[in-house]
Amino acid sequence: MAPKSGKKKSASIPSSVSPTPSQSTTSMKVGTKNNTSKVVVKGPYDDRKTTLRDRIYLTIVFLFAAFIRTYKIYYPTSVVFDEVHFGGFARKYIIGRYFMDVHPPLAKMLFAAVGYLAGYDGEFLFAAIGDDYLEPNVPYVPMRLFPATLGVFVIGLFYLTLRASGCKSGVAFLGAMLLTIENALVTQSRLILLDSPLIFFMALTIYAQKKFEIQSAFSLDWYRYLCLTGLGLGATVSSKWYGLFTIGWVGVLTVWQLWFILGDLRVSAFKFVGHFTARAIGLIAIPIVFYMAMFFISFLCLSNTGDGASFMSPAFQQSLKHAPVIPDSPADIYIGSQISIRHVNTQGGYLHSHDHLYVGGSGQQQVTLYPHRDTNNIWLVENSEIGGTIDDSPLTHIEDGMLIKLKHVTSNRRLHSHDVRPPVTEQDYQNEVSAYGYDGFDGDANDIFKVEIVKSRSAKGPSQDRLRTIESQFQLVHVYSGCVLFSHNVKLPKWAFEQQEVTCVKGPTFENTLWYVETNTHPNLGDDVEKINYKNPSFLSKFVELNKVMWRVNAGLTESHHWESRPESWPLLKRGINFWVKDHRQVYLLGNPIIWWSSSLAIAVYVVFKIFAILRQQRGFKDFQSGNSLSVFDSGVGSFVIGWAFHYFPSFIMERQLFLHHYLCSLYFACLVLTQTFNYLAVRISLPLIKRSLALIFFALSAAAFLWYSPLIYATPWTKSLCEKSKFFDMDFDCNSFLDTYDAYKEYDEAKASEIINGEGLLESNLVEQVQGNVPGAQVIKVVEEPVAEVQNFIEPAVQIVEEIQQGIEGAAKQAQELAQPVAEQVVEAVKPVVEQAQEAAKPVVEQARDAVEPVVEQAQDAIEPVVEQVQETAEKAIEQIQEVIEPVAEQSVEDAKPIIEQAEPIPAPVADREPVTEEFHRSSVVIEVVTSNDAEPVESVPSVKSDVQPLIPEGHIIEPETIQHDEL
């Protein structure tokens, strides 16, 4: 039945929504005309304003958090876990060297700024976990104090967020104290890691969003907290892409609010447009501008080329200082042009070949994708006629659809494909790509490829009709089989130097079949032809490219890691991360189990409660009366549970490496839910003594858990027995790294301090004691043999490599001598007259020089003789002293060894003065010579055995001889 009055109805807003209030307090005048008084009516959010009690609580929380997060922050005094990466990134910002990382730049730039202000000059490399900070005088403490300070502010923001959400001051104080002693958050905030800035900016965003929700619409504070929310979103996503989930959470709340504002008939259409526009600017435009501004600053800082440039396009690389300069090339490509071909999709590697064969497949010459400029990247464009010659007069353009052959310039073999499976990717739809041919061979039908220019990916104009340098993107289609030249992110084995695989694929991924020509030369072209090079990219194009590369590399982090864990284990705290182990101490990322499990339980309880409340509402029960405790609980907890879900559940669809620290953002929301649950219980329980007792018991249990596992935070001494008793679920912190007793730590630290003061290592002091006779001589030998064996193990592979290099050099030298001999003979004949004339002219000069030098030589000899005699006498005395020290030790060693020698079986005498077996290998013959001694004649000589199958071996296919063992000879 329609209402009798003509007043408009307004849509009701459920309790779980926090709409923007139109006002927080109202006032009205009452009384007669001459006697009025102003009555102030409290608004619904007045109890959420900051009071003197809040300031006292905040002061206590700040001091407590500052102590917890800065206690012994100087230890460990070496690189811990991902300080390797993020400290190294800060270094590269300081020295301006470009690098590529999967995270946005803000947090890394902040670390670099702090390090620079503290005096870090970029000399320390952050090369490996455990590298010492003290000796190179690295200002690591200020760099660690920065995330610790942000961690302290996180606690304050947590308290203020709870107060803005309706929590009582005492409950908010309890929640902030609990978050202060959460072990995982403490550990992360004490190191040079990105999680502390990320959580700080996320906490700032949550606080600003909650304050924005309770402000009067279009008031100054309303605009201020709206802009602060947008800046927080921009800073969060600029630190780590986990901030995208924070943006999603704020976006859902914003859409929810706009939906109910739209249903409020008291709000005019004009005001609704104002609501929408303000939120679009504050929550969309401001974060985007902030995010892009961080990349703009990053590009300014990283102006020099570096190891990260290889991830970027050639145009991007050319924009960096000190990058290798690619010369301008003729724009048009002709038959007879020598070109380098680059892949479009996989980091722009070059089509490459070298004089090495496939192990498997056809055994022909390898064709790969190589990321660096090299002479082996050059290919000669030939016409497709079998037996034809290069048609370079007149010049012939490479038109769309033209058939060509590509000849590898350095090896004279042609790009080739056939119905042979590749040695790595062995699917039926993949054909091997090789380089095949020999001198005088004009190729075959498997060398012919069709050029198909992709017009949609090429520059407008002639680049869409004929092949042009850089501007045309094309496919190479194998005419005989119909497959397309293809490359992907698959590395070949070490026998191909781990370069990228190139195949020919039927029905391939389109992006992986695109190529373009980077450099181009032709002997018949003059200097006046049109030339082309990469265009200098704009900031926007560099910004877009870098974000695409970051996304691709981030998605490619799929290799397993020893300390990775999956999302289903995070709410139960099943596994942590080992950060650092040294000096019988350990840093291990582990949460406070009491807080962790309780927060997970609180979320589960709320989900059950919400389902039950929805069912009751459907049955007509009105549990959520405006302003009652249940309504406040639902509105306060509901948005935080949504935030927890937004930051947690997307991890299930990620295939990349994941670790426990990826749950910390969700944990922050879970702790907000836990504290809101405490607040609801505090309202429902009427007896203050019971409330305070329960709060004290819970905090005591949490504090006990914090203290129990604190050795894993601060790397303080812990015993093996306590460590073993402390394990639960799949926790795998290494208890064997700890000593048995705390007294053992005292002895270990004293011994280490003594070593540092004396400047002597343990091995050196042991050797001194053993030479002085304090330990038996047999132990001397044992102590010395171990380092000698390690040196031998290190030297033997190096010697083998040197021998291989020498063999290669000798072969190259022989070939060079054979090639150079005719030239040398001619040079000798031509130079002889000149040399004879020079000798005749030089004779008087030589005689004068001899007469001048002889007196100087005689004086030098007279001066040196007494010095030599003195050195000899000093050396003889030193040798006598060493013999006096060693003789007792040697005699003792002989006495100790006699029983062992008498019991040992006799060992056959080795063959004296035996030289190693000489092995001389040729492609088709083997020559073996056995030598018994240095002076003896060969006992046996085996003549060359020529292979009978040589004519059947394809040209360019090398048969490697089997290794001949000495025992077989």
CB 413 within 8 A of CB 436: yes
* CB 350, CB 369: distance < 8 Å: yes
Q: Which residues pair with 430 in a beta bridge?
A: 505
pLDDT at site 9: 41
pLDDT-derived band at 589, boundaries 50, 70, 90: very high
Q: Tokens in use for 400? A: 């769309």
Q: 219-224: long-range contacts at Cβ-Cβ below 8 A with a sequence spacing of 24 or more?
A: 222/20, 223/278, 223/282
More confident residue, 872 or 522: 522
What pLDDT, on the 0 to 100 scale, is given for residue 545?
Answer: 95
Share of the chain above pLDDT 90, in %: 60
Return the closest-CA partner of residue 529 out of 572, 570, 468.
468
Neighbours of 83 (CB within 10 A): 25
User: How far is 239 from 284, CA to CA, in rounded Å?
Assistant: 17
Residue 797, pLDDT above cutoff 50 = no
Average pLDDT over residues 499-509: 93
Q: How confident is the model at residue 884 (pLDDT cuts 50, 70, 90)?
A: low
Give the C-alpha separation, 202 to 206, whole Å: 6
Q: Which two tokens stand for residue 150?
A: 């942000």
Ranges of H-type helices in 619-687: 629-648, 664-684
Does the pTM surpass 0.85? The reply is no
d(CA 280, CA 227): 11
- Residue pair 330/518 in contact by the 8 Å Cβ criterion: no
Name the region of 122 (left: φ>0; alpha: ψ -120 to 50; beta: rest).
left
What token pair was written down for 500? 């990228």
Residue 763 has pLDDT above 50, yes or no: no
**pLDDT over threshold 50, residue 950:** no
Higher pLDDT, 674 or 941: 674
Q: Does the pLDDT at position 452 exceed 60?
A: yes
Question: What mean pLDDT, rounded, does the chain reach?
Answer: 81
**Which pLDDT does position 753 carry in this prediction?**
82
Query: What's the whole-number mean pLDDT along residues 927-954?
Result: 37
Mean pLDDT of 277-295: 98
- Flag whether pLDDT at 775 surpasses 70: no
Q: In this structure, how many other beta carbons lie within 10 angstroms of the beta carbon of residue 551?
A: 12
Buried/exposed 194-231: b ≥16 CB within 10 Å, e otherwise: bbbbbbbbbbbbbbbbbbbbbbbbeeeebbebbbbbbb
Check whether 918 has a pLDDT greater than 50: no
Helix/strand/coil (H/E/C) assignment for every residue in 392-415: CCCCCECECCCEEEEEECCCCCEE
pLDDT digits (tens, 9 = 90+) for 842-859: 455 446 545 654 554 455
Question: What is residue 474's predicted lDDT score, i.e. its pLDDT?
Answer: 98
- Is the pLDDT confidence value at 921 over 50? no
pLDDT at 12: 39
- pLDDT at res. 734: 86
Q: What is the pLDDT of residue 486?
A: 96
Q: Confidence class of residue 816 from pLDDT cuts 50, 70 and 90?
A: very low
At 585, give phi and psi (nearest 5°): -130, 165
**What pLDDT is stored for residue 814 in this prediction?**
56
Highest mean pLDDT among 31-40, 810-819, 873-882: 873-882
Q: Return d(Cα 309, Cα 347) in angstroms, integer.
A: 10
Higher pLDDT, 61 or 777: 61
Preceding peptide of 943 cis, ω within 30°:
no
Helix ranges (DSSP H) in 649-776 = 664-684, 688-708, 711-714, 720-725, 742-758, 762-771
Cα–Cα distance between 287 and 7 in angstroms, integer? 41
Q: Give the list of residues 6+ apart from residue 929 with CB closer than 8 angstroms, or none.
A: 917, 918, 920, 938, 941, 942
pLDDT range class, residue 558, cuts 50, 70, 90: confident
Q: Which residue has the higher pLDDT, 264 or 765?
A: 264
Q: How far apart are CA 603 and CA 570, in angstroms?
A: 14
> 39-50, pLDDT tens digit by residue?
444 455 666 788
Q: What is residue 388's predicted lDDT score, i.e. its pLDDT?
A: 47
**In what side-by-side order are the strands of the sheet with 926-930?**
918-921, 926-930, 940-942
Residue 876 has pLDDT above 90, yes or no: no
Please, what are the domains in the chain? 52-299+570-711 (no CATH), 327-533 (2.80.10.50)
